[in-house]
Amino acid sequence: MSITIYHNPKCSKSRQTLELLKENGVTPTVIEYLKTPPTAEILKAILVQLGMAPRDLMRKKEAVYAELELDDPSLSDDDLIDFMVLHPILIERPIVLANGKAALGRPPEQVLDIL
């Protein structure tokens, strides 16, 4: 079983989720998404697996969200995805992928449902 975590080591929830996976015997592939952001295609697939719209996966309190005026309702889903690819800090974290499913580690225990 292949398990991947989109991880930010500076984020406490992301660190807690990674530790929880390891405590449950899982050694995931770790993608530090700030260094290696997902492509638009991968992000679209993750959104489908999460059952979320792009805006739902965005960190609205990040300065870049306000700077780029991403609260503009005229922006399309594709526009928002493009901004998340260009500015991965906008992507909520951590995201765990397993068994064709995805879960957001907020709270960290939520990812156990897809293992």
* Closest alpha carbon to 39 in 75, 86, 97, 80: 86
**Catalytic site residue 76?**
no
The Cβ-side half-sphere exposure at 7, using a 13 Å CA radius, reads 18
- Among the listed residues 3, 4, 11, 62, the single catalytic one is 11
**CA of residue 8 relative to chain centroid, distance:** 10
Q: Which amino acid is at 88?
A: P
Catalytic residues: 11
